[in-house]
């Protein structure tokens, strides 16, 4: 029996766990699943003869190393800040590692040592990063193999709501870590457009959107991710005149979020005074100049951000409860933490809610004297609030990569991102069989 250790059993791991269990008999796997709590796992997992669940504390070095030593490959679905701890233990104990998270400088520094030990640390193998890389490289390689020259590449991804569950004015609910949504985009976005470097500072980011049409699902707004330029080298597009990666939201979201940015409510850099006893109305008031009580709070916010009081954006902001006498109730909270606490119950997936993943690549290229455009789109719908499209698109690539590794089909060693056909071809092929399929349109 080949032994797999899965660390992290939260919502994002639900489909991955089912995949591992479904493959265990045929592949002769034993799957150990550890997290701070495992009681929520379904009986089909708890009672399977191929699985073992246990309470796990990543900070407990003795337990961490004992459990990792038992496995041939470790899958980490823990928060990204714990990956270095897990990776160091994997390196010391000679165990392979697979994660969905970005390669940080700290993890990249382990590549040579891992390679020397014959280990592979497969990273960025989820949705974004992950499926975005694999699907992008497939079409980029196709164009190059035909002799074409890529002149523009844009890629957008969004974790959104399925149309039947889209029942709030923001057209959005949390399907991933809420904190990451609150602080998204902070810093300066960098990309290249028609040979000119472009920079968007955070206060302007949500004003600068691009409209994206996905057949059958309508229009979306895309805003630039923080760093698109770093993808030129790994994608083999060092000379491309236009390269942009971005995030998708439904129309209206970015415009309303811009109000929160302008007010300062997404700031995570300082602690509010007496936040435990402050209300959200008082919080908003604290960001406004003056104390003119002749105008309503909504009217004063409108004047401050340059909108009409009856603007749709202000209706959306008011819907959150920010203008109400609701207690924050958090000690030493940053504005971003206070905002997160307010939004989590309002943007929580309700029983029966379905989410939706949308990804689109827009690739322009020259071939045989003609200018062409290729659009590659992916839409995945969730089944319910547990078996989400997010869990499916994050978990399945990891599960498939684990199978390929244990079957001896991954020859690369060191820290690896799935940019080469050896990895992306079989993963994309099995994803297609499982309903995660791109549609392509060429013009």
DSSP assignment of 232-250, as one string?
A: TTTTT-TT-SEEEEEEEEE
Task: Report which DSSP code applies to 294.
Answer: S
Between CA 143 and CA 149 the distance in angstroms is: 7
428: helix, coil or strand? helix
Residue 130's closest CA among 442, 410, 411, 400? 400
pLDDT tens over the chain, length 443 residues: 999 999 999 888 999 999 999 999 999 999 999 999 888 888 888 878 999 999 999 999 999 999 999 999 999 999 989 999 999 999 999 999 999 999 999 999 999 999 999 999 999 999 999 999 999 999 999 999 999 999 999 999 999 999 999 999 999 999 888 999 999 989 999 999 999 999 999 999 999 999 999 999 999 999 999 999 999 999 999 999 999 999 999 999 999 999 999 999 999 999 999 999 999 999 999 999 876 678 889 999 999 999 999 999 999 999 999 999 999 999 999 999 999 999 999 999 999 999 999 999 999 999 999 999 999 999 999 998 888 999 999 999 999 999 999 999 999 999 999 999 999 999 999 999 999 999 999 88
Provide the pLDDT for residue 176.
80
pLDDT of residue 292: 66
pLDDT at res. 291 = 67
Domain boundaries in the chain? Answer: 2-127+389-442, 271-333
Beta bridge partners of 155: 245, 361
CA distance 268 to 334: 5
pTM of the full structure: 0.92
Q: Under DSSP, is residue 215 helix (H, G, I), strand (E, B) or coil?
A: coil
Q: Which of 61, 59, 71 is nearest to 2 (CA)?
A: 71
Q: Which two tokens stand for residue 271?
A: 């602690």
Q: What is the pLDDT of residue 47?
A: 79
The confidence score (pLDDT) of residue 43 equals: 84
CATH number of 2-127+389-442: 3.40.50.720
Supply the pLDDT for residue 129: 93
């Amino acid at each position: 029996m080949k032994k797999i250790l899965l660390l992290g059993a939260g919502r994002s791991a639900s489909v991955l766990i089912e995949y591992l269990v479904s493959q265990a008999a045929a592949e002769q796997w034993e799957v150990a699943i550890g997290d701070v709590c495992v009681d929520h796992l379904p009986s089909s997992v708890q009672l399977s003869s191929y699985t073992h669940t246990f309470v796990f504390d990543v900070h407990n070095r003795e337990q961490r190393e004992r459990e990792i030593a038992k496995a041939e490959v470790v899958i980490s679905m823990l928060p990204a800040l714990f990956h270095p701890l897990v990776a160091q233990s994997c390196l010391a104990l000679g165990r392979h590692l697979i994660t969905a998270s970005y390669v940080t400088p700290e993890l990249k520094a382990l590549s040579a040592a891992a390679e020397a030990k014959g280990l592979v640390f497969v990273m960025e193998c989820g949705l974004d990063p992950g499926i975005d890389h694999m699907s992008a490289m497939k079409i980029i390689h196709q164009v190059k193999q035909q002799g074409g020259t890529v002149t523009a590449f844009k890629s957008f991804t969004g974790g959104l709501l399925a149309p039947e569950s889209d029942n709030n004015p923001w057209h959005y609910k949390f399907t991933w870590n809420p904190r990451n949504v609150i602080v998204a985009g902070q810093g300066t976005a960098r990309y290249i457009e028609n040979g000119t470097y472009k920079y968007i500072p955070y206060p302007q980011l949500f004003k600068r959107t691009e409209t994206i049409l996905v057949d059958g699902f309508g229009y979306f707004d895309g805003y630039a991710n923080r760093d698109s330029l770093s993808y030129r080298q790994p994608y083999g597009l060092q000379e491309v005149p236009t390269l942009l990666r971005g995030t998708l939201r439904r129309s209206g979201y970015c415009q309303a979020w811009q109000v929160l940015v302008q007010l300062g409510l997404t700031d995570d850099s300082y602690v509010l005074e007496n936040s435990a006893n402050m209300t959200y109305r008082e919080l908003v008031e604290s960001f406004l100049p003056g104390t003119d009580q002749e105008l309503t709070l909504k009217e004063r916010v409108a004047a401050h951000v340059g909108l009409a009081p009856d603007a749709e954006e202000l209706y959306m902001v008011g819907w959150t409860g920010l203008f109400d006498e609701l207690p924050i109730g958090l000690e030493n909270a940053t504005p971003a933490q206070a905002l997160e606490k307010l939004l989590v119950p309002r943007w929580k997936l309700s029983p029966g809610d379905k989410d939706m993943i949308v990804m689109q690549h827009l690739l322009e290229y020259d071939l045989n004297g003609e200018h062409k455009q290729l659009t590659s789109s992916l839409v995945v719908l969730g089944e319910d609030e547990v078996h989400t499209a997010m869990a499916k698109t994050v978990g399945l690539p990891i599960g498939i990569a684990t199978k390929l590794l244990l079957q001896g089909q991954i020859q690369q060693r060191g820290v690896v991102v799935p940019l080469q056909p050896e990895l992306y071809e079989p993963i994309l092929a099995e994803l297609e069989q499982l309903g995660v399929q791109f549609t392509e349109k060429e013009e």
